[in-house]
Amino acid sequence: MSLVEDARRVRENAHAPYSKFKVGAALIAGSGKVYLGCNVENVAYPEGTCAEAGAIAAMVAGGDTSITEIAVIADSPKPVSPCGGCRQKIAEFASGDVRVTLATTDGVVHQTTVAALLPGSFDADYMSRV
Q: Are 70 and 52 in contact (CB under 8 A)?
A: yes
pLDDT of residue 15: 95
Q: Is the pLDDT of residue 124 over 90?
A: no
Binding-site annotation: residue ranges: 39-45, 50, 83, 86
**Helix 3-11 vs helix 51-61: crossing angle, to nearest 10:** 110
| More confident of the two residues 127 and 60 | 60
Q: Is the pLDDT of residue 46 over 80?
A: no
pLDDT of residue 102: 98
For 60-103, the pLDDT digits (tens) are 999 999 999 999 999 999 999 998 889 999 999 999 999 999 99
Q: Are 100 and 113 in contact (CB under 8 A)?
A: yes
What are the extents of the domains in the chain? 3-127
Q: Which helix (H) or strand (E) holds 23?
A: strand 23-29
3-127 maps to which CATH number? 3.40.140.10
pLDDT of residue 126: 85
**What is the side-by-side strand order in the sheet with 67-74?**
34-38, 23-29, 67-74, 99-104, 109-113
Rounded Cα gap, residues 55 and 24, in angstroms: 9
Rounded Cα gap, residues 57 and 60, in angstroms: 5
Q: Which of 63, 50, 62 is nearest to 10 (CA)?
A: 50
Binding-site annotation: residue ranges for Zn(2+): 50, 83, 86
Identify the active-site residue in 5, 12, 47, 52.
52
pLDDT of residue 100: 98
* pTM of the entire predicted model: 0.92
For 18-45, the pLDDT digits (tens) are 999 999 999 999 999 999 999 999 877 7
Q: Is the pLDDT of residue 47 over 80?
A: no
Q: Look up 52 and say whether it is catalytic.
A: yes
Strand partners, 103: 73, 109
Residue 65: strand, helix, or coil: coil
* Radius of gyration of the CA atoms of the chain, in A: 14
